[in-house]
Structure 1
Amino acid sequence: MTVSWGRRLASSFLAALTVAVVTHAASMFLFFVSQQYQAATLSQVSEFYFFATLFSVVLLFVFALVGAFRRWYTAIIAGVVTGIIACLAGSGLTTVLGGFALDAATISFLWGTFLSLNGVYVIVLAILAATIGRAIYNRAIAFRTAQNPIERRIALVRMPAGNLADGQLTHVERTTVDTELADTQWDGYVSALEKNGWTTREVGFADTMADSVFVEDTLVLLGDTAVVTRAGTESRRAETDGAEETARDLGLHIERIMSPGTLEGGDVLKVGSTVYVGRSSRTNAEGIRQLRAIAAPLGYHVVAVPVTRALHLKTTMTALPDGTILGHPDLVDDPAFFPHFLAVPEREGVAVVVLSENTVLMSSSAPATAALLEDRGYTVVSVDISEFEKLEGCVTCLSVRVR
């Protein structure tokens, strides 16, 4: 479901108003402290910032409406631009209303205020836009969705870390990863989800966690229950913190895989009420046992599947909306184990993200498989994820779909 304009308007206004008001109050407090707690400072500074704050509400509202609060870096940019424009406009209006001419000397003075009063305002506004503003906007956007599971189509995504190229490898040799291209490809992946009716929610950026972009490994969704996983490698276990926080924000019930169990989301493939779980190098028997105990009361049947030729189960197979299992014979240990198995011509073609009953998203590295699926009546949305494929990633790895 695409988020309604009414919800966007309300979320944008709430975030903009909160950021502007808190910035106003925080700036007043900072100068109150710097002036040795002189009470007169409060009214003077508040009056100085009055119009700037009004302009900030309007500008932040516009930025939020076009999606600037969806990512932390765009929120910072929006905050800086808003702060500069709002301070110039607000200070200029205050100057004119005070009876001063808006001449060259006055304009020069206004620019000079960015070294003091207005500079503080801009910095505070940018920080709050990227933190409080972004949090309020995202939670407000998701609030009604979380209350109505029928309408919910949210994809959790996570920006690539700065050290993406250092991601772990198990079954492929390391090759050079173009991180700038990876960032561009990630943007294209997110855009493809959004263009096909999914609302994306960013899990907190983890710049030092190389594999964190593969957010699917952190959560397993079973209806309204989010199972927080436990990675098979120690270095990836901190990735779940941000994912769990986002799942809580969506109102999902939280369960966990506990030590000594290990389970990664890439090893879990749901087909109706059947949950296939890969017994791989990352998911152990105890992790499968714990997931089975969580899933059974929710109406799911867990089936363990051996995975020895690839990193995760879903790098060997995924399922079409009609339940057909897609897989490549070189990757699947025993294709006969699965009903309705369809062998695909390319290894990159085993992974699809189901966008709707008639539409799937897949890697552009598998054109022959795309043609095969189109011949079966599906609309195929292709995205380039070549840099993530170098790290044993696929289209499913880059998001967690909440339905």
Structure 2
Amino acid sequence: MVPPKNFTVEYAINPWMGGVVDQQKAQTQWDGLKNAIEKQGVQVLTMEQTKGLPDQVFVCNSGLVFDNKVYLSRFRHKERTGEQPLYLEWFKKNGVATIGEEYPEIFEGGGDAVFSDRQTLWAGYGERSSKSVYERIKALGQFDIVLCDMVLPNFYHLDTCFAPVDETTSLYYPAAFSDATQKEILRRLPNSIAVSEAEANAFVCNAITVRNTVISPIGVSAATRDALKTRGKDVEEVDMSEFMKSGGACQCLVLRLL
């Protein structure tokens, strides 16, 4: 995670960006997310935010990690390209093997690519990641790659409309996907829970599951909460309102290293 020492909204590169960040409130919200993760017995490492790179807090976009290797991001928008060498340096310093720095394809890391288990990578493409990059990502290891066709501009990253919960379950917003992708989600993750438009707009799909707890932005409906409970999952809501001014929330603020 990257603490929001220099987090602001200085430009607009997605449909959600706008507003003035309350920096004290943003720090409190970030601390709340970090504490919720650590409460589950998970260690959180941090890297410092560099002034002039306000979106560096959204560290999930730095790459995709698998078996102590990372396929590095290459950002579509110039405003974020300054983050790339900093992530490369951090991974090397922390003993994570790097792949992809020499390739030209656009890729925005965990924002568009997420594992539901060790055999299955869900792969968003279009707005912010190239479809062709996933041929390169096969170098990370042996797993199926499920290409996800996203159809709504407001849901520009996969993690805005899809969140794996366990090996058979996800939270997803059906309208954000083509019919074929919706069918594939339900075929591979048959216990998946469709969220409402209101929940999608509250970034409920930008949740992370740690152990048996789904850590989500505020806005989970009673129906979704009950559906998760039947699957053995608790829900912890954390206020992410300051980060949503820049189009991000729980998942965006975290890079999974394991």
**Does TM, normalized by the shorter one, top 0.5?**
yes
CA distance in 1, matches of 2:206, 2:85: 26
1:359 maps to what in 2?
A: 213
1:252 to 96, 100, 108: 96
Does the alignment pair 1:343 with 2:197? no
Matches within 5 A, 1:18-97: none
Call closer, same or farther: CA 1:371–1:249 in 2, change over 3 Å. farther
2:124 maps to what in 1?
A: 278
Call closer, same or farther: CA 1:284–1:231 in 2, change over 3 Å. same
Q: Could you report, residue by residue, the CA deviation over 1:208-256 in whole angstroms, capped at 9, with x for unpaired residues?
A: 1011100000120112211111111122122132323332233222112
Matched position secondary structure for 1:254 = strand
2:170 maps to what in 1?
A: 325
Output the TM-score relative to the length of structure 1.
0.56
Q: Which amino acid aligns with 2:166?
A: P
Q: Could you report, residue by residue, the CA deviation over 1:342-394 in whole angstroms, capped at 9, with x for unpaired residues?
A: 202311222321211x2221112324333431243212222111111222112
Q: Could you report, residue by residue, the CA deviation over 1:188-217 in whole angstroms, capped at 9, with x for unpaired residues?
A: 111111121111111232121011100000
Q: Percent identity?
A: 25
Instruction: Verify the 8 A CA contact 1:204 1:243 in the aligned structure 2.
Output: no
1:388 to 243, 250, 253: 243
Instruction: Verify the 8 A CA contact 1:161 1:209 in the aligned structure 2.
Output: no
2:146 maps to what in 1?
A: 303
Matched position secondary structure for 1:382 = strand
Structure 2 segments unaligned to the other structure (5+ residues) = none
CA distance in 2, matches of 1:185, 1:282: 26
Matches within 5 A, 1:136-175: 157-166=1-10, 168-172=12-16, 174-175=18-19
Instruction: Verify the 8 A CA contact 1:261 1:286 in the aligned structure 2.
Output: yes
Q: Which amino acid aligns with 2:30?
A: W
Higher helix share: 1
Aligned residues: CA RMSD: 2.0
Output the TM-score relative to the length of structure 2.
0.85
1:90 maps to what in 2?
A: none
Does the alignment pair 1:184 with 2:28? yes
CA distance in 2, matches of 1:260, 1:244: 16
Does the alignment pair 1:211 with 2:211? no
Call closer, same or farther: CA 1:219–1:252 in 2, change over 3 Å. same
1:234 maps to what in 2?
A: 78
Q: Which amino acid aligns with 1:394?
A: A
Does the alignment pair 1:289 with 2:143? no
Higher strand share: 2
CA distance in 2, matches of 1:388, 1:336: 31
1:374 maps to what in 2?
A: 229
Instruction: Verify the 8 A CA contact 2:121 2:145 in the aligned structure 1.
Output: yes
Give the Å deviation of 1:181.
Answer: 1.2
Highest RCO, 1 vs 2 (Cα 8 Å, sep ≥ 6): 2
Q: Could you report, residue by residue, the CA deviation over 1:273-299 in whole angstroms, capped at 9, with x for unpaired residues?
A: 11111112110133233223x23xx11
Q: Would you say how many aligned residue pairs link Structure 1 and Structure 2? A: 243
Give the Å deviation of 1:264.
Answer: 0.5
Instruction: Verify the 8 A CA contact 1:167 1:210 in the aligned structure 2.
Output: no
CA distance in 2, matches of 1:320, 1:303: 16
Q: Which amino acid aligns with 1:249?
A: K
Q: Could you report, residue by residue, the CA deviation over 1:79-126 in whole angstroms, capped at 9, with x for unpaired residues?
A: xxxxxxxxxxxxxxxxxxxxxxxxxxxxxxxxxxxxxxxxxxxxxxxx
Instruction: Verify the 8 A CA contact 2:3 2:49 in the aligned structure 1.
Output: yes
Question: Bigger radius of gyration, 1 or 2?
Answer: 1
